[in-house]
Structure 1
Amino acid sequence: MAFIGIDHGTTGMRFALIEGDRVLTFELGRAEAAAMSEKEILESIEENFGIRRETIDLIALTYSMGDGFCAIKDVRNLEGRGLQSIEGAGKKTGGGTRVFDAIRNSGIPAIAIPGLHVKSKVDPRMKVFSHLTSPEKLGIAYHIRCLGYRDFVVSDISSNTVTLAVAAGKVIGAIDACIFAPGVHHGPLDLQAIRDVDNGLTTANQAFIEAGSLKMTPYKDREELLSAAKKEEEAALLALDTIALFAAMEIVSMELLLKDYGTNGVVFLAGSVGEVEYMQKKIRAHLGQECLCLGKWHAAIGCAEIARDVFAGEKEILGVDVNFP
């Protein structure tokens, strides 16, 4: 039995294969995927995993915000690609679209995972925000659930920061990237950003993708920032300290939500910045508690686990309904 999960991340498309006890992963940059044909994308999956497409039992796919549907369903039953609009918060390269269309048109059985938004089954107080999290974060949360945890908070920290709360095995809330804690690239719009948008100096989306802690530094991207942090450059450490502080605040806010459900839960850190040891130490110190850590691959692995369990007949994943087959 072979199951694949696909994480539509900010900087790349990450793929994971679960075949028995074997777990394999690989990544395509979003610009790289955008330049490939659908045929080339499918061939890349076959070559990297050493598998023929006819032997794949089910793929679980994430795409952009996933805010146009609420239940896990066949990709071929989605209207469009499962979005209310192609406009929103984030950079568009076309790589995710090319991968989505390649899978949808391939004939391989595939399901789409929704994001969490105002129409989802979450704590009703969270619905003051139209959007809570994109679908790949459910992949991370489900992987944690598969590790045996039912009550937890997970903060995914990379280009942006998104934090989810799970109680009794169901997602009850999340804080999206454009609401609170900044990541490296993305963050909420502050007063000056709102003024700049109103004065026509920038768009809201451009302000969002430039609101991360990178703006405090001379570095051009996450790789430069993390490299400078290893050298203990002051600007880099200040940027990471900033992310750590606000991520810790966001985690505490989700822990407060868990308390309303009668539990405390375990804290997990994930993402390419969350897996940095310096960040882990800072966040642990802020929280005054231990945090368990995952890496950048666990969203895709969790999506593959969703595919595996949906194929086996699960009708609910983290409280999200499954309408498949």
Structure 2
Amino acid sequence: MAFIGIDHGTTAMRFALIEGEEVRTFELARAEAAAMSEEDVLASVEKNFGIRRVDIELIAATYSMGDGFSTVKDIRALEGRGLRSLEGAGKKTGGGTRVFDAVRNSGIPAVAIPGIHTESRVDPRMKVFSHLTSPEKLGIAYHIRCLGCENFVVSDISSNTVTLAVAGGKLLGAIDACIFAPGVHHGPLDLQAIRDVDAGIISANQAFIEAGTLKMTPYEDREEMLAAAERGEAPALLALDTIALFAAMEIVSMQLLLRDYGVSGEAIFLAGSVGEVEYVQKKISRHLDHECRCLGKWHAAIGCAEIARDIAGGAEQILGVDVEYP
């Protein structure tokens, strides 16, 4: 039996397949996926995984913010694509939409994973914010749960930074990308950004996607900045130092939430393309005086595949999120 997880990432759609003890992965850039037909997407899945679609038992997919529903559902039972609004924080390319629709229209059994928001079962104090995390972060957290950790904090650091807290195998809360710690591209709106939005100079969404630490540097994108950091260039290292400092602050804030539930000594994980950079890992570990474990960029998709596998096996909850399937 084969199970597939799909991570709707900021720059790419990542796919993971679990078949027995074997795990396989591949990715499509979002712009590349947007240019494909639905049939092309499915054919790419078959080709890259060496599998026929009729042999796929269940797919667990994520899409955008996932804020229009709060339980894991059959993908065909969603209204629209499971969003409250098509507007929101982030860059739109159409690649995620193409993949989502390809899965929904394929006839392959599939579930959609929700984001975490005000309708979710989390610590009620976290609901001061309308949205806490998008669905693929549940994939990361579930993968950690499958590694045997019940109590942990995980910070996913890449284009943006999102941090989650889990106690007793259930998600207590999260801090979304537009609230606190910046990533490379995205971050919260500061005073000047608010002034620029009010003055009509820039949209709120554009301000969000340009609020990361890249603005502190002369570089064009994340890849160029990371390459410069490897060469020891000062602007790149300052940007990474800034990310590490604020990510560590965000992790500590989630540890405070866990303390309220009597949890201490929890594991700390870093994920994402920046979280797996050794320089950043060492900085965060030093700030926290605690060794952090690192996950790579594939673990959101792998966690989603593990969600599919366990739902097919009869799981009724995923990290405390109810499952309504079949």
TM-score under structure 2 length normalisation: 1.00
Measured after TM superposition, the shift of residue 244 of structure 1 is 0.2
Question: Structure 1: where are the runs of 5+ without partners?
Answer: none
CA distance in 2, matches of 1:250, 1:16: 28
CA distance in 2, matches of 1:55, 1:289: 44
CA distance in 1, matches of 2:226, 2:132: 27
Measured after TM superposition, the shift of residue 250 of structure 1 is 0.1
Number of the residue aligned with 2:219? 219
Question: Structure 2: where are the runs of 5+ without partners?
Answer: none
Partner deviation per Cα, 1:66-122 (whole Å, 9 max, x = no partner) = 000000010000000000001000000000000000000000000000000001000
CA distance in 1, matches of 2:129, 2:235: 33
CA distance in 1, matches of 2:286, 2:225: 22
In the comparison of the two structures, how many residue pairs are matched?
A: 325
Number of the residue aligned with 1:208? 208
Measured after TM superposition, the shift of residue 51 of structure 1 is 0.1
Does 1:38 find its partner at 2:31?
no
Measured after TM superposition, the shift of residue 154 of structure 1 is 0.1
CA distance in 1, matches of 2:100, 2:290: 40
Partner deviation per Cα, 1:104-147 (whole Å, 9 max, x = no partner) = 00000000000000010000000000000000000000000000
3-state secondary structure, aligned to 1:272: helix
CA distance in 2, matches of 1:232, 1:166: 36
3-state secondary structure, aligned to 1:44: helix
CA distance in 1, matches of 2:290, 2:316: 35
Number of the residue aligned with 1:65? 65
Q: How does 1:152-231 map to 2 (within 5 A)?
A: 152-231=152-231
Q: How does 1:231-250 map to 2 (within 5 A)?
A: 231-250=231-250
Measured after TM superposition, the shift of residue 47 of structure 1 is 0.2
3-state secondary structure, aligned to 1:164: strand
CA distance in 1, matches of 2:89, 2:287: 29
| Dislocated runs of 4+, deviation >6 Å | none
CA distance in 2, matches of 1:321, 1:289: 33
3-state secondary structure, aligned to 1:178: coil
CA distance in 2, matches of 1:17, 1:289: 33
Partner deviation per Cα, 1:13-38 (whole Å, 9 max, x = no partner) = 00000000110000000000000000
Measured after TM superposition, the shift of residue 161 of structure 1 is 0.1
One-letter identity of the residue aligned with 2:42: L
CA distance in 1, matches of 2:281, 2:137: 19
Number of the residue aligned with 1:291? 292
CA RMSD of aligned residues (A): 0.3
Number of the residue aligned with 2:112? 112
Number of the residue aligned with 1:76? 76
CA distance in 1, matches of 2:102, 2:191: 41
Number of the residue aligned with 1:103? 103
CA distance in 1, matches of 2:164, 2:218: 31
Give the % identical residues: 79
CA distance in 1, matches of 2:175, 2:239: 21
Measured after TM superposition, the shift of residue 318 of structure 1 is 0.1
CA distance in 2, matches of 1:130, 1:246: 21
CA distance in 1, matches of 2:297, 2:135: 15
Measured after TM superposition, the shift of residue 186 of structure 1 is 0.1
Measured after TM superposition, the shift of residue 183 of structure 1 is 0.1
TM-score under structure 1 length normalisation: 1.00
Number of the residue aligned with 2:280? 279
CA distance in 1, matches of 2:93, 2:67: 19
3-state secondary structure, aligned to 2:273: coil
CA distance in 2, matches of 1:21, 1:310: 17
Number of the residue aligned with 1:143? 143
3-state secondary structure, aligned to 1:82: coil
Partner deviation per Cα, 1:188-236 (whole Å, 9 max, x = no partner) = 0000000000000000000000000000000010000000000000000
Number of the residue aligned with 2:5? 5
CA distance in 2, matches of 1:289, 1:92: 37
One-letter identity of the residue aligned with 2:219: Y
CA distance in 1, matches of 2:219, 2:104: 38
